[in-house]
Amino acid sequence: MQSAFGPSSSVPEQVRRIRLRHLRCFVTVAREGQVGRAAELLQLSQPAVTKTLNELEVLAGAKLLDRGRHGARLTAAGHRFLRYAQDVTTSLDAAVAALAGAAEPAREPLRIGALPTVAGYVLPEALAELRRVRADLDIRIRTDPNAVLLSALAAGALDVVLGRMAEPSRMVGLSFELLYAETLILVVRPGHPLAGRSVSVADTLEHPLVVATSGTVPRHATEALFERHGLRLPVGLIETLDLAVARGVVRRSDAVWITTERAARDDLADGVVRRLDVPAAGTVEPVGVLRRSADASSAEVEDFVTILRDIPVDGTWQDFLHG
């Protein structure tokens, strides 16, 4: 019998020492994209999870995860290893369920990942339509930064993601279909000193800034916007991806919120915030549907993606495609 290491008789001794706890730990971290979240699910301490991962990488003879302050992501070797590690843990769980006399496997929900800054735009309308055509479908929504969502998608913890294309190393095994593109805007509360007049990017530095967290695409776009004007983001930033937090800060202070146009669309329509007259050309970012390339999408995923394609958006994506 052949294995990844050749004939079974030639499997290195250290590989034979890989245990189920190593595989469960690895699969959970790969699925969640964060050691801390995986530790909570596994009911272990973070140091214990880190130790188990280190042991696995030594035994496997390969680096499987890149771990940093922005989370954990699979390496090329990790992507290859994950498929088989999941097969082991899934098969064992199914065997235990069979012994327990489970009549039928539990019906799996449609697991959708979405960026916090885009979830409030097309997702509610898409879910309403999906509910109309598939009333009995359970749906589970997860919002996280793009890197975390892509790691979860690659690990099989999500079925589809509404997010952004990432650098090539994060797109291994994933496909991207453009839905629309969005631009950054700067918003303030009604009555703000900068509201109602033409202002420069430099003028915003006189006030607290609410921005996306470090390492996210909106944050990169924000930094690029300031750099194009010969400026750098100041100290004392309020960093968040939580729209409710950002909205609350802006409504109660003279802070300037730098966000995507669609994230603030309802607040602008309701008069909760006002858009500053600040040129922000060149900050357009593509948003689309991401799926695993190698897997055939379920009928539920196909229905959801079809609905997303049919939702009308403004012309921003045309501007993106045609310059």
Q: pTM for the complete prediction?
A: 0.63
Per-residue model confidence (pLDDT) at position 319: 42
Question: Which amino acid, one-letter code, is at 223?
Answer: E
Q: What is the mean pLDDT of the chain?
A: 84
Most confident range (mean pLDDT) of 98-112, 133-147, 177-191, 242-256 is: 242-256
**What total number of domains does the chain contain?**
3
The whole domain housing 239 covers 184-275
Per-residue model confidence (pLDDT) at position 30: 87
DSSP string, 23-78: HHHHHHHHHHS-HHHHHHHHT--HHHHHHHHHHHHHHHTS--EEEETTEEEE-HHH
For residue 20, the domain's CATH number is 1.10.10.10
159 plus 291 within the same structural domain: yes
The b-or-e profile of 207-237 (16+ CB within 10 A means b, else e) is ebbbbbeeebbbbebbbebbeeeeeebeeeb
47 or 283, which is more confident?
Answer: 47
Per-residue model confidence (pLDDT) at position 284: 66
151 plus 71 within the same structural domain: no
% residues pLDDT > 90 (the chain): 37
In a domain? residue 280 = no
240 plus 300 within the same structural domain: no
CA-to-CA distance for 121 and 308, rounded, in angstroms? 11
Torsion of CA 169, 174, 177, 183, to 10 degrees: -40
Over residues 260-296, the pLDDT tens digits come to: 888 888 899 999 999 998 876 556 678 899 998 877 6
CA-to-CA distance for 161 and 273, rounded, in angstroms? 29
83 plus 8 within the same structural domain: yes
Per-residue model confidence (pLDDT) at position 304: 94
In a domain? residue 56 = yes
305 plus 175 within the same structural domain: yes
Identify each DSSP E strand in the chain by its residue range: 2-3, 6-7, 65-68, 71-74, 110-114, 139-143, 160-163, 174-182, 184-188, 209-211, 238-239, 256-260, 274-275, 285-292
Strand partners, 6: 3
Determine which of 53-57, 81-85, 200-204 has the lowest per-residue pLDDT on average. 81-85
In a domain? residue 104 = no
Tokens describing residue 75: 């390496």
Question: Which amino acid, one-letter code, is at 111?
Answer: R
141 plus 266 within the same structural domain: no
